[in-house]
Chain A
Amino acid sequence: MRVSRTHGFRQTSGAVIVVWVVVALLAAACGGPAEPTPTTAPPAQVQPTVAASTQAQPTQAPTGVPAATSAPAVKPDHVTLDFWYSLGGNSGQVVEELVKLFNESQSYITVVPTYQGGYAEIMAKTWNAIFAEQTLPQVAQLGGAPLVGATGACVPITDFTDGPNGIDRSKIYDAFWDYNKAEGTIWCMPFNNSMPVLYYNKDLFAKAGLPTEQGPETWDDVISYGQELTRGDQWGFNTHDDTHWYLSTMILENGGQIINQEETECLYNSPEAVEMLQLWGDMVNDYEIMPPAQHKEAGTDFLAGVLGMFFRSSSTLPSLVRDAPFELGVGMVPAVEGKDRVAPIGGGSLVIFKNSNPYILEAAWEFVKFMTSEASSLYLSTHTGYLPLYKSSLEWPEMQAYLEQNPLVRAPLEQLQYAYAIPVFPSLGTSDSALRQAVEAVELGASDPQAALDQAKKIVDQDLITQAQNKQ
């Protein structure tokens, strides 16, 4: 399978031959067999010595950690931790910076960060490592992280947060904990999170005679504003290409659900969901304020000044602030008339993988605790578009000073009170792509909302059955 795929990437068999030759030469030079040997060695370098360090160190192993009989009884001098992360670009640099701050803050633990590609790529690598029993890092930052927990590869984070060296979990928004739950257990530590927000072009709003200080409050407003903004080659409203997230937002706001409590049946074809996809389709085909199937280009349209309102993740805020040649506005998620806003969170979390050495787990938690502390959360949220985790974040003096300078960040922060966690279940990848297909079918008039969502539900239910079989 791999061979045929990689082969497909190459236009020339010549390139393949060159690669083969290079690999052959390398293998010959190494003199060993070419097959990568799966290492079973513990990845952390531990030097068990009796020397008592003068550094401030955690002294007690967390409770509830699967204790291994072979664990060294002696505390090591120094621990090195491997840390996989999946944030690229500016956000990735901020992660590296935080790791550096941690390494400099003490001398007992050294964390080695490695970028492993985006969410999909790092997940594939993690699944592979778990399946093939290959070397996993001690800590990783993943999207959809609680699914890893459900496989038994990592330690429930509550073992640490509720332990002697723990934290006060009630200081962090409940939605973030829900987001890290699978099968009733909180597996991982919330780290980088975002929510959809409504960006708008204040210049275009002013030109159309619309109020510029605030975005649209409801979806009805979006439609009426959109009609004012749509003229010539200029569109009123569009979303980024992860349309499943934005339609999910609307479905949740309308009182619908993605999946039932038992996670056995997808609820995409509920009346609440159909009503919202109908509304979405109407925006394209009836009100004509949104171009059909043009979500991949929505970002460039917005920056080019030919799109009035742009529904996208709050994590994009810094780059839009940097790139927009017009006055940018940021509003909260619009509400369904007469109902509350709902802002489903997305993003990544930190997981601590199982380890037979309690000192490594202890060190890993020390690192995770640092990365998600109030100070780090402030740092992350003021240097990237990700949100702070703490309920008190709006009251922090540093945050207030930051908001003074960057008033656009206020909307996403105030929106945190509406944060909501879509259940994380194993068929999520299939479920997202099925919903995207439904959106596309309705936008292009290939299907009506009911039929499109019936089809999406059918695809997800099919996958849920397979996933249930896997668990047995």
Chain B
Amino acid sequence: MTNGVIVEQNPGVHRSSWWRRWGEETVVAYLFLAPSMIILLAFAFFPVVFSIAASFTRWNLPYRPVWTGLTNYLYLFTNEVGWPAFRQAITNTVYFTLGSVPLNMAISLLLALLLNQKLKGVGLFRTAYFLPTITSTVAMSVVWMWLYHPSNYGLFNSVLLKIGLPTERWLRDPLLAMPSLILMGIWHGMGYNIIIFLAGLQNVPVQLYEAARIDGAGTWAQFRKITWPLISPTTFYVLVIGVINAMQAFAQMHVMTQGGPLGRTTTIVYMLYHEAFESFAMGRASALACFLFVILLVLTLIQFRLAGSQVHYE
């Protein structure tokens, strides 16, 4: 129908056999794609290419960029100031990712299994668990700073005092700061994962469970042999997205710790922010972005390789 309209509007177009065979449809297809393609090109691909180019320049705003080849990368990997900071940022990012993603997935799956049952008021619980996810990270961080307040009147500390335990310094303790952020991250990210897992769980055909029960399978056997393999595409999706998100953690560090104490919560993206918007070193920040991009790409490919064989698609 749409073709007809287009043709109607362009009665003068010469229709060669080439045009008729695939040109017309292709042009129409591209016309439909154009709006989002232009957006993508302008706001996604152009900045990516620009950023890659910028990473090979010395570019401190507001001066013009100057080509310096690999200087920024050498700074990150070999400089006596750059490398220790960068190494710490990588360590912290890995710590945050390994600390939050698996735990988050396990808890989310467990809660999703519970919420998948036909109980009264289950909708209320589903909503409750999803609430943190739609809360902005910044607002949530401010609230959690009260929970983690290092004084005795901090919420967690006052509870600890009540039950006779020593108080903690939470975000202000170099060893506890990252675990504290991970805990908050799990609470925040859980809702999204639960929804995805729920969708996965509800796609598992009920007949399989019925058949299993008839064969005498217990709850654990049902989960192990039916649920787990059948929701594997969901699990895999949650894993990949979780890793990508965790590797880019920034907002909570920015609000709650500014990368401290002792740089223990400076993630790669926080370091990027510091270079770009405190030191205004855009070239160096772009090099960090490119590094993170490559790492994410490689990690995702590895996950596809390793986990891909475990994933069961119907």
**Residues on A close to B: CB < 8 A?**
1-5, 7-13, 20, 23-25, 27-28, 33-35, 120, 124, 126-128, 130-131, 151, 153, 233, 241, 291-294, 296-297, 300-301, 304, 306, 426-427, 429-430, 433, 437, 440-441, 444, 446, 458-459, 462-463, 466-467, 469-471
Assuming A5-B272, A440-B262, what are 7 further A-B pairs, CB within 8 angstroms? A9-B250, A27-B35, A33-B38, A131-B62, A300-B151, A437-B260, A444-B174
User: Which of these, B40, B43, B137, contacts A11 with CB under 8 Å?
Assistant: B137
B62 touches A151 (CB 8 A): yes
B89 at the interface (CB under 8 A from A): no
B151 touches A306 (CB 8 A): yes
A1-B250 CB under 8 A given contacts A20-B36, A34-B38, A291-B150: no
User: Which of these, B50, B54, B150, contacts A294 with CB under 8 Å?
Assistant: B150
Stretch in B17-25, B111-119, B241-249, B300-308 with 4+ CB within 8 Å of A:
B241-249
| B187 CB to nearest A CB, Å | 12
A470-B39 CB under 8 A given contacts A1-B47, A124-B277: no
B248 touches A4 (CB 8 A): yes
Most buried by B among A34, A458, A467: A34
| B11-44 vs A, Cβ < 8 Å mask (1 yes, 0 no) | 0000000000000000000000001101110111
B232 at the interface (CB under 8 A from A): no
| A28 cross-chain contacts in B, Cβ below 8 A | 35
B64 at the interface (CB under 8 A from A): yes
| B51 cross-chain contacts in A, Cβ below 8 A | 1-3
B144 at the interface (CB under 8 A from A): no
Complex Cα–Cα for A35 and B304 (A): 34
Q: Give the size of the chain B interface in residues (CB under 8 angstroms).
A: 64
| B280 cross-chain contacts in A, Cβ below 8 A | 124, 127, 429
A9 touches B137 (CB 8 A): yes
A458 touches B81 (CB 8 A): yes
Closest 10 CB pairs of A and B: A8-B248, A127-B61, A1-B51, A1-B289, A35-B42, A28-B35, A130-B62, A470-B63, A233-B152, A429-B278
Give 8 A-B contacts (CB < 8 Å), ordered by A residue.
A3-B44, A9-B251, A12-B133, A130-B62, A293-B172, A294-B151, A297-B151, A466-B281
| A291 cross-chain contacts in B, Cβ below 8 A | 150, 172
A304 touches B248 (CB 8 A): no
B48 at the interface (CB under 8 A from A): yes
A8 touches B249 (CB 8 A): yes
| A128 cross-chain contacts in B, Cβ below 8 A | 61-62
| B255-283 vs A, Cβ < 8 Å mask (1 yes, 0 no) | 00010111100000100111011111100
B188 touches A11 (CB 8 A): yes
| B251 cross-chain contacts in A, Cβ below 8 A | 8-9
**Residues on B close to A: CB < 8 A?**
35-36, 38-40, 42-44, 46-48, 50-51, 54, 58, 60-64, 66, 79-81, 133, 137, 145, 149-153, 169, 172, 174, 188-189, 192, 241, 245, 248-251, 258, 260-263, 269, 272-274, 276-281, 285-286, 289, 292-293
A8 touches B289 (CB 8 A): no
A12 touches B192 (CB 8 A): yes
User: Which of these, A4, A12, A27, A467, contacts B289 with CB under 8 Å?
Assistant: A4
A11 touches B293 (CB 8 A): no
A24 touches B39 (CB 8 A): yes
A8-B47 CB under 8 A given contacts A33-B42, A293-B260, A440-B261: no
Complex Cα–Cα for A9 and B138 (A): 10
Complex Cα–Cα for A176 and B241 (A): 52
Complex Cα–Cα for A125 and B10 (A): 46
A441-B245 CB under 8 A given contacts A23-B39, A27-B35: no
| B68 CB to nearest A CB, Å | 9
| B35 cross-chain contacts in A, Cβ below 8 A | 24-25, 27-28
Complex Cα–Cα for A468 and B48 (A): 28
Complex Cα–Cα for A158 and B293 (A): 48
* Chain A, Cβ-Cβ closest to B257: A296
| B285 cross-chain contacts in A, Cβ below 8 A | 1
| B81 cross-chain contacts in A, Cβ below 8 A | 458-459, 462
| B273 cross-chain contacts in A, Cβ below 8 A | 5
Most buried by B among A2, A4, A11: A11
| B5 CB to nearest A CB, Å | 17
B133 touches A430 (CB 8 A): no
| A4 cross-chain contacts in B, Cβ below 8 A | 248, 269, 289, 292-293
| B40 cross-chain contacts in A, Cβ below 8 A | 20
A463 touches B62 (CB 8 A): no
Complex Cα–Cα for A307 and B77 (A): 43
A127 touches B62 (CB 8 A): yes
Complex Cα–Cα for A463 and B286 (A): 17
| B245 cross-chain contacts in A, Cβ below 8 A | 8, 10-11
Complex Cα–Cα for A124 and B275 (A): 12
* Chain B, Cβ-Cβ closest to A460: B81
